[in-house]
């Protein structure tokens, strides 16, 4: 079974540019989460999709971040325009409701804003 995949693995952009991160969850997982880890700090929750619907987006920092989950499959996280403080590692995770609470993480996208 393929795990959670994320693309790209690394992205370096200049302040003010736009970046789109992609996450492909484990097939059949209805829950999809985005998290971010800023250097040396904890992994922080950004938002949670159940299928194509946003269940909880309380962790989204501001309106420069836009997440979508088309058709309840893969998800994208767009940052526009990027700021220096957006640098960090963005993780995606997925889980299947009703089986266990375990969230399976992707390898992350390391975003550097210069």
Partner 1 sequence: GENVEQHPSTLSVQEGDSAVIKCTYSDSASNYFPWYKQELGKRPQLIIDIRSNVGEKKDQRIAVTLNKTAKHFSLHITETQPEDSAVYFCAAIAGGGADGLTFGKGTHLIIQP
Tell me whether residue 6 or residue 113 sits nearer to partner 1 (CB atom).
Answer: 6
Tell me whether residue 16 or residue 38 sits nearer to partner 1 (CB atom).
Answer: 38
Burial of 70 (0-12, 13-18, 19+ CB in 10 A): exposed
Contact between 75 and partner 1 per CB under 8 A: no
CB of 76 to partner 1, least distance (A): 18
- Single out the segment in contact with partner 1 by CB under 8 A; choices: 16-24, 33-41, 64-72, 76-84: 33-41
Write out the residues near partner 1 by the rule CB under 8 A: 3-4, 31, 33, 35, 41-48, 50, 55-56, 58-59, 91, 95, 97, 101-108
């Amino acid at each position: 079974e393929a795990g959670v995949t994320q693309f790209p693995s690394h992205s370096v952009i200049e302040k003010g540019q736009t970046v789109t991160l992609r996450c492909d969850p484990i097939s059949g997982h209805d829950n999809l989460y985005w998290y971010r880890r800023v250097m040396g700090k904890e992994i922080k929750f950004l938002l949670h999709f159940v299928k194509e619907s946003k269940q909880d987006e309380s962790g989204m920092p501001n309106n420069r971040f836009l997440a979508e989950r088309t058709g309840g499959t893969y998800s994208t996280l767009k940052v526009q325009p990027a700021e220096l403080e957006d640098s960090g590692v963005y993780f995606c995770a997925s889980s299947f409701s009703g089986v266990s609470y375990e969230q399976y993480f992707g390898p992350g996208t390391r975003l550097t804003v210069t």
